[in-house]
């Protein structure tokens, strides 16, 4: 094998050693080992080491032929610095470069000895520049001076120099608190934070890097390091603090061909306090690097250079006068000299942003700005490119999703953090910073608005002048994961992108830098066939799609399949471990041991689910390092555990509080707990997001609903303040009335502190013009109806109808307000003048035609033909088929779909057949001893009891097919009740063991008792037991109140039985003798899907009729 180096030819044998040279310079020693082979076989590498000993400090530098690093220090051992010139990188480390099989000497080294100093020069010659590192150490000094020289080969260029250091690298990762300090301040990154970007100021010429938690003296760990730099040379200096290392980055404009630094390392030498004091002393004594001359203004070219450096190349430009105050005349009276610059290698998202910018400006100002691939001032420069960096803007230094808009001289720069095509962020998403910056510019400067999808929703002001004021704005979202979940044909996705949000959850979200994958997944990773083959995994008394999470073998199988999925999807960062839908979990002894009660007295399986997430996460961390496990906190695990749980660092929680669905936050108790519960989840982990259907109702009949402004103003700022990383809100599918709801939610997903009232007012004025006031009152009318219903009519606890628009809401909210809705709509229609505003208003009206038709067919309306919304059956069918107006433009298929997919409303309930009021009565005897509550109904224990029998069907005196007998006795402490429920098909009767107060108890066979010892008909206790002794109790249909009572259930020959013992103390009764109680007993029988309801005292329709 032959290798040519330094003009010589060497023959390489099995043991390779180049000549070693040592120079002694008084007290300075410089040693160069030459390239040496380390290791054997395919793992053999080539290394070369330089040592400079000043007598006070020894600097050991090593190279693999491409990069250069500082050994045995807190600085990177293989990559002292990386120099970027127009995106070409110099001295970057790649472990493949060191392999003997790949070896190529990309760097030329020159050693320069001297009496008082020694210099090592390292030079790399690239396509866009030649770059030299000059490393100088002086006698008896502890600083390594670094000068970076750039000889550019392109006419327009900019430089970035990046370093990387590892203070306290020997400390445990979970204890690291990396920090920086200057003479003026300090910044600390806590262990639970992901990263922090710190901009250095012009008066800060040095910075010390350290760990605030681990210190050399106290922890016996590696110490900090520091550097001096020349702020007058830079246009931007930013330090990124991350979990393990610190990355300072310095950016330079054209004309700066020499950059100056001095590096210090305090490893194994100084504590943090001593090192910081030393840096301050050096600075106070006047130590500095660089020339000390003021830096050139950002964006200027041809600044003064040293004589030995060629002058900076000039960019061809045309004179174009700025307006007073520095404003840019992009378009003046229909003419423009500006172009849009987008590098040909820019990501497709940036190129699409250029086209969007061009399109909107052309519509607004009547001028189509050319899109160029070469910078030609005056220009609008898009993306992270050399001209932008020369102006002091570097997208890669920004956080993901962020952008910066800045005017420099005659140019406008819109630069964002952008991922390349096919590239992902470390969190599994993409970053579209420049695209977001363009959307923001078009809104704030051009005045464009997109109030709904398609041409009908685009509002772009027409003007022949576009003036850009002086700007320097940096912005990013409050939430890294932003989803407005709505049906999303392409036109809706375009609308959402302009608002900087996604429309689909999980990996369907194509705009967020963080992807949260928490979806019902148990059937995916533990499918039914696998569970059937392992019946021991089944959830005891749980649903078929659940399994026991306390079974190690079941958890291991689930985790193995989750890891396999991650291996099959290398582009996915997170796998879901969230349970399948439904709330019936395992009730084995081990699971019940960890089952708690939540704040509302309901069973909580949170501990079981979080332990399961942890178990899976540990396997994923071992077998798929760096990947995450996502999971819901939903349903029976909505509320955090009573005691904090240590979650694995790769667990991500998506809090999905079912109680708040369907505007549940209008209920005062839920509103009062929201921040407390949200904060409790955030305290468990920084990896938390929020997903809710609070601002959504399933409206399948065309019933419109309004945006809940007060909930929006309450909810979003709290989530931002607590540091939630993502938010998903379910939007409104129908844009004809749901436009403002979707618009406001999209705006708040980006900026939770936006002015909700101002945004809503603007939307109404843009959408409906002169009809805005009337439509605003119409929406307020609907919002008032929902608020009243939620606060005063709907049960407190969640049930499935909370987000359904069912007959209860139809009758309480819509029927009483239909006259007012129509009057306000007529007022708006008579006020509007523009064609577009009239068309949007008529979209709302067309939706009301559908709703009105459905109300009429269901029997809710009187004199419906008098309404402006009325259509006869024939007219209605023609209405559904009529073509859409051409003026609506393209992309309004969503409107046709909204109308045609509406469903009929459930018919208005008719009055049940009335039976004469009945007052059956019993006198309950007192006896002792009390019966044993064991489900046996022993005759000797119930001898002499009062008997209630001859149960009848509702609305009649017709006897039930299967009769029920109830017995009652009491003693001084309790009331005792037994039910004997005849059943001739006992073998066919299905029953399930359920959690306490689970509404699903009413899906099957039940025995029910109603007791009221007061004069208030609504103060009726309701106790329910099923054949498995599952129970429900509450007052007036509400389960928020609970009794202390005992029950037992059993099945016998031809019957099933229940026994109850109800302490008088829990009923508030002190002396039961002589008391009168309003009462009833009821039974539901379910066999083969058929139901039979029966009661002792006759009712017209419902068991809950207080008068019966």
Residue 242 is predicted with a pLDDT of 82
Tokens at 762, concatenated: 């603007």
- Helices 433-441 & 490-498, crossing angle to 10 degrees? 80
**Span 708-739, pLDDT tens digits:** 999 999 999 999 999 999 999 999 988 999 99
**Span 810-869, pLDDT tens digits:** 999 999 999 999 999 999 999 999 999 999 999 999 999 999 999 999 899 999 999 999
Cα–Cα distance, 70 to 64 (Å, whole number): 12
Residue 5 is predicted with a pLDDT of 32
Between residues 1043 and 866, the one the model is more confident about: 866
- For residue 242, give the 3-state DSSP assignment: strand
Question: Which residues are bridge partners to 229 per DSSP?
Answer: 261
Cα–Cα distance, 619 to 563 (Å, whole number): 8
Does this model's pTM top 0.85?
no
Cα–Cα distance, 958 to 951 (Å, whole number): 9
How wide is the angle at C-alpha 31 spanned by C-alphas 30 and 37, nearest 5°?
Answer: 155
CA distances from 755 to 247, 569, 713, 744 (A): 37, 41, 8, 10
**Span 909-933, pLDDT tens digits:** 665 555 666 788 999 999 999 999 9
CA distances from 301 to 147, 236, 296, 387 (A): 22, 16, 8, 11
Q: Does the pLDDT value for residue 310 go beyond 70?
A: no
- For residue 18, give the 3-state DSSP assignment: coil
Mean pLDDT of 964-969: 97
How wide is the angle at C-alpha 864 spanned by C-alphas 862 and 869, nearest 5°?
Answer: 145
Q: For the chain, what percentages of helix, strand and coil (3-state, to nearest 5) are there?
A: 30, 25, 45
Residue 215 is predicted with a pLDDT of 77
Residue whose structure tokens are 């959402």: 496
**Span 457-501, pLDDT tens digits:** 999 999 999 999 999 999 999 999 999 999 888 889 999 999 999
Residue 20 is predicted with a pLDDT of 35
Handedness of CA 949, 954, 956, 961 (dihedral sign): negative
Q: Does the pLDDT value for residue 12 go beyond 60?
A: no
Between residues 320 and 444, the one the model is more confident about: 444
Residue 11 is predicted with a pLDDT of 25
- The mean predicted confidence, pLDDT, of the chain is 86
All domains in the chain, ordered by first residue: 1-155 (no CATH), 158-290 (no CATH), 334-476 (3.30.379.10), 946-1095 (2.60.40.1190)
CA distances from 243 to 167, 476, 893 (A): 11, 21, 48
Q: How many angstroms from the chain centroid is the CA of residue 716?
A: 12
* Burial degree of 529 (CB within 10 A; 0-12, 13-18, 19+): exposed
Q: Does the pLDDT value for residue 39 go beyond 80?
A: no
Residue 999 is predicted with a pLDDT of 78
Cα–Cα distance, 72 to 496 (Å, whole number): 51
Mean pLDDT of 792-807: 81
| Cβ pair 235, 251 in contact under 8 A | yes
Mean pLDDT of 518-547: 89
| Cβ pair 266, 282 in contact under 8 A | no
Cα–Cα distance, 591 to 541 (Å, whole number): 11
- Confidence class for position 450, pLDDT limits 50, 70, 90: very high
456: closest CA among 843, 780, 966, 717?
Answer: 843
Residue 3 is predicted with a pLDDT of 28
Q: Which of 70-74, 276-280, 611-615 has the highest mean pLDDT?
A: 611-615
Mean pLDDT of 386-413: 94
342: closest CA among 313, 315, 373?
Answer: 373
Q: What is the DSSP string of 304-368?
A: ---TTSPPPPPPP----PPPGGG-EEEEBTTB---EEEE-TTS-HHHHHHHHHHHHHHHHHHS--
Cα–Cα distance, 239 to 500 (Å, whole number): 27
How wide is the angle at C-alpha 166 spanned by C-alphas 165 and 169, nearest 5°?
Answer: 165
**Span 163-172, pLDDT tens digits:** 999 887 555 6
Residue 201 is predicted with a pLDDT of 86
Cα–Cα distance, 1108 to 1091 (Å, whole number): 21
33: closest CA among 17, 44, 45?
Answer: 17
Question: Lowest-confidence range among 85-99, 483-497, 566-580?
Answer: 85-99
Cα–Cα distance, 447 to 462 (Å, whole number): 10
CA distances from 854 to 78, 849, 876 (A): 73, 9, 11
Cα–Cα distance, 640 to 574 (Å, whole number): 22
Q: How many angstroms from the chain centroid is the CA of residue 421?
A: 23
Residue 331 is predicted with a pLDDT of 96
CA distances from 511 to 35, 121, 413, 515, 960 (A): 48, 45, 22, 9, 61
């Amino acid at each position: 094998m032959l290798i040519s180096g330094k003009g010589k030819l060497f023959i390489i044998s099995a043991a390779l050693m180049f000549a070693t040279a040592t120079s002694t310079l008084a007290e300075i020693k410089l040693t160069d080992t030459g390239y040496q082979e380390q290791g054997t076989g395919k793992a053999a590498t080539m290394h070369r080491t330089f040592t400079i000993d000043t007598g006070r400090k020894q600097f050991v530098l090593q190279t693999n032929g491409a990069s250069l690093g500082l050994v045995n220090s807190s600085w990177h051992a293989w990559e002292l610095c990386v120099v970027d010139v127009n995106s070409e990188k110099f001295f970057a480390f790649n472990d493949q470069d060191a392999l003997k099989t790949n070896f190529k000497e990309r760097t030329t080294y020159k050693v320069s000895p001297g009496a008082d100093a020694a210099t090592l020069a390292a030079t790399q010659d690239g396509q866009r520049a030649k770059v030299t590192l000059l490393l100088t150490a002086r006698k008896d000094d502890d600083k390594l001076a670094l000068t970076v020289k750039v000889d550019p080969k392109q006419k327009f260029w900019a430089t970035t120099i990046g370093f990387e250091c590892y203070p306290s690298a020997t400390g445990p990762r979970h204890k690291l608190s990396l920090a920086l300090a200057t003479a003026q301040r300090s910044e600390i990154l806590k262990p639970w934070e992901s990263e922090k970007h710190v901009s250095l100021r012009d008066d800060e010429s040095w910075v010390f890097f350290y760990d605030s938690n681990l210190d050399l003296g106290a922890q016996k760990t590696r110490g900090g390091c520091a550097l001096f730099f020349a702020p007058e040379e830079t246009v931007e200096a930013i330090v990124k603090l991350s979990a393990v290392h610190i990355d300072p980055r310095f950016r330079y404009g054209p004309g700066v061909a020499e950059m100056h630094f001095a590096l210090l390392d305090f490893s194994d030498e100084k504590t943090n306090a001593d090192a910081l004091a030393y840096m301050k002393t050096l600075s106070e004594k006047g130590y500095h690097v660089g020339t000390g001359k003021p830096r050139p203004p950002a964006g200027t070219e041809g600044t003064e250079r040293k004589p030995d450096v060629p002058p900076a190349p000039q960019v061809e430009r045309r004179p174009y006068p700025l307006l007073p105050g520095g404003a840019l005349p992009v378009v003046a009276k229909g003419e423009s000299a500006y172009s849009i610059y987008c590098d040909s290698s820019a990501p497709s998202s940036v190129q699409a942003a250029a086209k969007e910018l061009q399109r909107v400006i052309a519509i607004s100002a009547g001028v189509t700005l050319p899109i160029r691939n070469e910078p030609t001032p005056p220009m609008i420069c898009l993306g992270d490119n050399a001209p932008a960096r020369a102006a002091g803007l570097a997208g890669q230094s920004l956080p993901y999703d962020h952008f910066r808009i800045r005017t420099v001289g005659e140019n406008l720069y819109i630069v964002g953090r952008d991922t390349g095509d096919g590239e992902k962020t470390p969190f599994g998403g993409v970053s579209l910073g420049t695209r977001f910056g363009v959307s923001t510019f078009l809104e704030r400067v051009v005045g464009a608005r997109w109030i709904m999808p398609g041409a009908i929703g685009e509002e772009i002001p027409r003007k022949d002048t576009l003036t850009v004021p002086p700007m320097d704005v940096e912005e990013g979202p409050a939430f890294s994961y932003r989803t407005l979940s709505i049906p999303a044909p392409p036109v809706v996705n375009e609308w959402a992108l302009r608002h900087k949000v996604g429309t689909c959850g999980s990996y369907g979200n194509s705009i967020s830098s963080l992807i949260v994958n928490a979806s019902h997944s148990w059937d995916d990773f533990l499918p039914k066939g696998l569970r059937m083959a392992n019946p021991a995994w089944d959830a005891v008394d749980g649903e078929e799609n659940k399994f026991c999470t306390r079974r190690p073998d079941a958890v291991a199988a689930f985790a193995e399949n989750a890891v396999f999925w991650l291996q099959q999807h290398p582009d996915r960062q997170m796998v879901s471990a969230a349970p399948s839908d439904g709330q019936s979990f395992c009730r084995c002894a081990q699971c019940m041991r960890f089952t708690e009660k939540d704040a509302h007295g309901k069973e909580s399986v949170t501990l079981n689910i979080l332990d399961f997430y942890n178990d899976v996460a540990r396997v994923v961390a071992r077998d798929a390092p760096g990947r995450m496990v996502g999971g819901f906190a939903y349903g029976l695990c909505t509320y955090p555990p009573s005691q904090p749980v240590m979650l694995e660092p790769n667990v991500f929680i998506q809090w999905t509080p079912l109680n708040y669905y369907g505007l549940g936050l209008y209920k005062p108790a839920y509103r009062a707990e929201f921040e407390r519960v949200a904060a409790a989840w955030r305290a468990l982990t920084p990896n938390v997001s929020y997903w809710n259907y609070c601002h959504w109702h399933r409206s399948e009949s065309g019933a419109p609903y309004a945006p809940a402004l007060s909930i929006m103003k309450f909810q979003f700022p709290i989530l931002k303040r607590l540091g939630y990383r993502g938010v998903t809100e379910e939007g409104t599918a129908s844009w004809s009335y749901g436009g403002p709801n979707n618009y406001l939610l999209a705006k708040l997903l980006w900026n939770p502190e936006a002015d909700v009232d101002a945004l809503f007012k603007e939307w109404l004025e843009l959408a409906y013009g002169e009809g805005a006031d009337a439509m605003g009152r119409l929406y307020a009318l609907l919002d008032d109806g929902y608020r009243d219903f939620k606060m005063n009519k709907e049960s407190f606890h969640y049930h499935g109808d909370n987000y359904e628009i069912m007959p209860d809401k139809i009758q309480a909210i819509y029927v009483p307000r239909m006259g007012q809705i129509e009057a306000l709509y007529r007022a708006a229609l008579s006020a509007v003048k523009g064609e577009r505003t009239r068309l949007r208003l008529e979209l709302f009206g067309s939706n009301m035609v559908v709703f009105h038709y459905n109300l009429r067919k269901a029997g809710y309306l009187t004199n419906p033909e008098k309404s402006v919304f009325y259509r006869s059956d024939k007219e209605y069918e023609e209405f559904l088929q009529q073509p859409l107006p051409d003026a609506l433009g393209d992309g309004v298929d969503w409107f046709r779909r909204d109308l045609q997919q509406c469903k009929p409303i459930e018919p208005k309930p008719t009055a049940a057949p009335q039976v004469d009021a009945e007052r059956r009565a019993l006198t309950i005897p007192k006896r002792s001893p009390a019966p044993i509550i064991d489900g046996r109904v022993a005759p000797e224990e119930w001898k002499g009891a009062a008997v209630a029998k001859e149960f009848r069907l509702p609305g009649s005196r017709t006897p039930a097919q299967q009769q029920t007998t109830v017995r009652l006795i009491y003693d001084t402490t309790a009331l005792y009740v037994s039910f004997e429920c005849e059943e001739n098909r006992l073998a066919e009767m299905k029953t399930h063991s359920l959690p306490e107060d689970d509404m699903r108890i009413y899906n099957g066979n039940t025995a029910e008792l109603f007791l009221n010892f007061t004069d208030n008909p609504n103060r009726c206790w309701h106790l329910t037991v099923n054949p498995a002794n599952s129970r429900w109790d509450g007052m007036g249909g509400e389960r928020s109140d609970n009794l202390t009572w005992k029950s037992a259930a059993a099945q016998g020959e031809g019957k099933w039985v229940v026994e109850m013992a109800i302490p008088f103390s829990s009923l508030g009764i002190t002396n039961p003798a002589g008391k009168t109680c309003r009462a009833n007993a009821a039974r539901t029988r379910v066999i083969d899907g058929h139901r039979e309801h029966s009661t002792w005292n006759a009712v017209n329709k419902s068991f809950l009729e207080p008068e019966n």
